[in-house]
């Protein structure tokens, strides 16, 4: 459930929206808009340009153009949280400014991810420069902690320092560490001060909500949006644990495969649209053995994206 509080904060479930490509590896705007509409219809917000969007395989100009297309298609910017953290400070500033001007509800910000072993002071300066250069009170930054991929962490002391320096602007975090203890610590330390903690997948959705958190931003929300959003809406009901278990079954099925190609293959399968399976290098599509294995695995758990095709054809 994506709602906005009195302070216009994004809550609930968001999907790092997978980016479709055509046979020339160009982003396919029409397919992307259709997929976004399908997600929104099921109460899932749009974390465009996330890791699972292959965002770091897209250039700055491509990301700007895609965001413009989404807004022109009248998708609601208030439900968008595009990834705007680039390796280069100047590009992070430009893309963040663009997102703010478009009216996005927030931005999900990676730390600069090329140089390793950088200090908290250096990362603080990075975020601080971006905030000052963008210079807009409506900016809401969600810090993106994903050390398994970025290899650069957003530490607890860094978060504390940023919240103190930029209260309101530093709005929350997506914790993709995969370590529940870390998410729990963030919830305990920062959520009470209005800093919204999103779990990095639905695996910890119920635990996050029970501990006062804001929701989750999850790859598998691209394929299982309705059920994940339902738990976010109804987590205080009696069947919450059962719902969580059902989500876990789907998640673990996809987690047996390379995630991004698997998501795209599932969408290709259920929409009868084979081009959806295309990924950009350095990723590769599921191979001739993995594709039927994924389809079999989905069948084995009775997983289907029942309303996808009607949505696509709409």
Q: What are residue 170's DSSP bridge partners?
A: 141, 167
Nearest to 262 by CA among 215, 297, 217, 212: 297
Closest separation in Å from C-beta 149 to its own copies: 6
CA–CA separation, 169 and 70 (whole Å) = 24
Closest separation in Å from C-beta 86 to its own copies: 8
Residue with Cβ nearer its own copies (114 or 304): 114
The burial of 175, by beta-carbon neighbours within 10 Å (0-12 exposed, 13-18 middle, 19 or more buried), is given as buried
CA–CA separation, 266 and 256 (whole Å) = 13
> Are the C-beta atoms of residues 254 and 262 closer than 8 Å to each other?
yes
Q: Can you tell me whether residue 121 is helix, strand or coil?
A: helix
CA–CA separation, 294 and 37 (whole Å) = 25
DSSP strand E in 30-135: where? 45-46, 107-109
Residue with Cβ nearer its own copies (84 or 243): 84
Closest separation in Å from C-beta 125 to its own copies: 4
Residue with Cβ nearer its own copies (59 or 103): 59
Closest separation in Å from C-beta 45 to its own copies: 23
Closest separation in Å from C-beta 24 to its own copies: 10
Residue with Cβ nearer its own copies (99 or 247): 99
CA–CA separation, 77 and 196 (whole Å) = 19
> Are the C-beta atoms of residues 267 and 38 closer than 8 Å to each other?
no
β-bridge pairing 45-46 and 12-15: parallel
CA–CA separation, 286 and 293 (whole Å) = 10
The burial of 153, by beta-carbon neighbours within 10 Å (0-12 exposed, 13-18 middle, 19 or more buried), is given as middle
Residue with Cβ nearer its own copies (129 or 273): 129
Residue with Cβ nearer its own copies (15 or 19): 19
Closest separation in Å from C-beta 57 to its own copies: 5
Closest separation in Å from C-beta 203 to its own copies: 20
CA–CA separation, 223 and 214 (whole Å) = 21
> Are the C-beta atoms of residues 55 and 81 closer than 8 Å to each other?
no
Report the interface residues with its own copies, using CB under 8 A: 25, 51, 56-62, 86-91, 94, 111-116, 118-119, 121-123, 125-126, 129, 148-152, 280-284
Tokens read off for 115? 């140089």
Residue with Cβ nearer its own copies (284 or 301): 284
Closest separation in Å from C-beta 111 to its own copies: 7
Residue with Cβ nearer its own copies (284 or 300): 284
């Amino acid at each position: 459930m994506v709602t906005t509080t009195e302070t216009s904060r994004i809550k609930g479930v968001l999907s790092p929206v997978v980016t479709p490509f055509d046979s020339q590896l160009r982003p396919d705007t029409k397919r992307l808009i259709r997929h976004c509409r399908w997600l929104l219809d099921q109460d899932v917000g749009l974390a465009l340009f996330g890791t699972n969007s292959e965002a770091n395989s897209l250039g700055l100009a491509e990301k700007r153009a895609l965001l413009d297309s989404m807004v022109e298609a009248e998708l609601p910017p208030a439900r968008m949280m595009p990834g705007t953290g680039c390796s280069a400070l100047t590009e992070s500033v430009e893309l963040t400014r663009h997102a703010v001007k478009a009216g996005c509800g927030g931005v999900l910000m990676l730390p600069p991810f090329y140089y390793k072993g950088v200090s908290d002071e250096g990362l603080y300066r990075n975020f601080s420069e971006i905030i000052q250069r963008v210079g807009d009170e409506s900016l809401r930054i969600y810090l993106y902690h994903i050390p398994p991929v970025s290899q650069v962490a957003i530490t607890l002391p860094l978060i504390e320092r940023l919240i103190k320096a930029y209260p309101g602007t530093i709005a929350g975090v997506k914790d993709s560490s995969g370590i529940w203890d870390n998410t729990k610590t963030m919830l305990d330390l920062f959520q009470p001060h209005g800093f919204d903690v999103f779990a990095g997948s639905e695996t910890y959705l119920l635990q996050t909500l029970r501990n006062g958190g804001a929701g989750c931003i999850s790859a598998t929300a691209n394929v299982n949006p309705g059920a994940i959003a339902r738990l976010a809406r109804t987590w205080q009901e009696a069947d919450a644990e059962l719902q969580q278990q059902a989500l876990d079954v789907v998640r673990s099925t996809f987690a047996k495969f390379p995630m991004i190609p698997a998501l795209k293959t599932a969408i290709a399968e259920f929409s009868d649209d084979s081009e959806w399976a295309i990924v950009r290098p350095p990723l590769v599509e599921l191979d001739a053995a993995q594709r039927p294995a994924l389809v079999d695995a989905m069948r084995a758990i009775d997983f289907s994206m029942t309303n996808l095709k009607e949505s696509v054809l709409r």
